[in-house]
Amino acid sequence: MKTIKITKMQGCGNDFIIVDYPEFEKTGIKADELAVKLCDRHFGVGADGIIIPKTDTKDTDLGWDFYNSDGSTAQMCGNGMRCFAKYAYDNKLVNKKAFSVQTLAGIIKPELLENGLIKVNMGKPILEDKKIPFWGERRITALNREFDITPVSMGNPHCVIITDEDPMELAKTYGPIIEKHEYFPEKTNTEFVKVKSRMEIDMRVYERGCGITLACGTGACASVVACVLNNLTEQKVKVNLLGGPVFVEWQGSKDDTQQDIFLIGSANYSFFAEYVL
């Protein structure tokens, strides 16, 4: 009987399975196939994605391979990075609380804070259409309805929609359509945002490759960038996700978009297990 040791973690309900590379290697299963198997919530463990730490990187302290529940790769995941950072420090993959991680979105720098939260320097938001990538207008049609949008990339594409309606209902109805819209050649995460005040927003997300999730760290960052650019919030914002709040800080503006954005939130263990393949 072949088994694999796993760690289950979650950040604001966005849940992940972490598999050390030696454990992954011994399975003989391709990573994308393993992700689909483990993430299945009925026949597997259940998760939004899997993370495989890499310790052989040259220019950073660590690296990771990240796969969505459908087996597709993701350039970045803010909630996943917070879980990864806590796991890496607790399991002595690094010996410092601030370190660098190589991802498909570039180098990301998490830091474990004294209050138990994790702060992640998510880098600079990408607003150039070609780099998002995005090919279209700032108004999108889905199911015969039009929405004003702000396209943003946090290493992965996002379509942010500001609304006065129930963001969850909009995410359920229009998220699957916009995810595969022709404006986004690599598909997109879609965030529906309701502004509560200059310091607080509610956000619901339909994630590319996952569907409705309890939280999305890169989506929270993209949402705050969109709100700041549209002069709807200040530069430090509480973002209420379905799974709980995170805090996003961005000192950027319409005139200065090249500022790093920071995501602050929790990361928690769910359980340790040995899964029968």
| pLDDT tens, residue by residue, 126-148 | 999 999 999 999 999 999 899 99
Q: pLDDT class for 19, splitting at 50, 70, 90? A: very high
Out of 77, 83, 221, 227, pick the active-site residue. 77
Fold of the CATH domain 3-113+267-276? Diaminopimelate Epimerase; Chain A, domain 1 (3.10.310)
Highest mean pLDDT of the ranges 103-107, 191-195, 210-214: 191-195
**77 annotated active-site:** yes
Task: Specify the pLDDT at position 35.
Answer: 97
Domain boundaries, the chain: 3-113+267-276, 129-259
Q: pLDDT class for 74, splitting at 50, 70, 90? A: confident
Task: Specify the pLDDT at position 209.
Answer: 86
Out of 159, 216, 221, 227, pick the active-site residue. 216
- Mean pLDDT confidence for 210-223: 94
Tell whether the model's pLDDT for residue 210 goes beyond 90.
Answer: no
Tell whether the model's pLDDT for residue 75 goes beyond 90.
Answer: no
- Mean pLDDT confidence for 238-254: 96
Task: Specify the pLDDT at position 48.
Answer: 93
pLDDT tens-digit readout, 95-111: 999 999 999 999 999 99
- The reply to whether 129-259 shares the fold of 3-113+267-276 is yes
pLDDT tens-digit readout, 26-66: 999 999 999 999 999 999 999 999 999 999 999 999 999 99
The whole-chain average pLDDT of the chain stands at: 96
**216 annotated active-site:** yes
SS in 3 state form for the chain? CCEEEEEEEEECCEEEEECCHHHHHHHCCCHHHHHHHHHCCCCCCCCCEEEEEECCCCCCCEEEEEEECCCCECCCCHHHHHHHHHHHHHCCCCCCCECCEEECCEEEEEEECCCCCEEEECCCCECCHHHCCCCCCCEEEECCEEEECEEEECCCEEEEEECCCCHHHHHHHHHHHHHCCCCCCCCCEEEEEEEEECCEEEEEEEECCCEECCCCHHHHHHHHHHHHHCCCCCCEEEEEECCEEEEEEECCECCECCCCEEEEECCEEEEEEEEEC
Task: Specify the pLDDT at position 12.
Answer: 94
Tell whether the model's pLDDT for residue 220 goes beyond 90.
Answer: yes
Task: Specify the pLDDT at position 29.
Answer: 94
- Mean pLDDT confidence for 116-121: 97
Assigned CATH for 129-259:
3.10.310.10
Task: Specify the pLDDT at position 1.
Answer: 83
